[in-house]
Amino acid sequence: MIGVKSSKEGRMAFKEPLEPICHIPEGSMFKGLLLALDLRVSGSFCGKIKGRGHVWISRNGSVQNCLEANEVTIEGTFEGIIIASKTVRLMATSVVKANIFCNLLLVEEGASLNGSCDMDKRVS
């Protein structure tokens, strides 16, 4: 389950989606437009991602340009614009330079965020 509070650590603990429908593996590069339900990026992507579910950027993953999804979790690097109808999670290892539009932003200690965040409940 994503977003389970850990009583031992006193902070939010997140788990990766079990089986992403689409995966860009580490060492791969992709440019262009990608439409997917759930997606994990472990390699590099430059372009526009339009996800209808959860987009997860792994620790070694890198995305540039525009990302739209219901939920976004970032462990790696992102530069551009993020539009999430629900939640954006920035994990401790994330480095993000972005303008973020979402309903809820969760940032772990250690995450790097340079940009802006608009948390207007009308984002869809």
Mind listing the pLDDT tens digit for each residue in 24-41?
Answer: 999 999 999 999 989 999
* C-alpha to C-alpha distance for 9 and 61, rounded to whole angstroms: 26
Q: What is the dihedral of CA 37, 60, 92, 112, to 10 degrees?
A: -100
Contact 44, 60 (CB under 8 A): no
Higher pLDDT, 9 or 118: 118
Mind listing the pLDDT tens digit for each residue in 53-80?
Answer: 999 999 999 999 999 999 999 999 999 9
Q: Closest by alpha carbon to 59, among 100, 16, 99?
A: 16
pTM: 0.83
Query: 38 — phi, psi (to 5°)?
Result: -115, 145
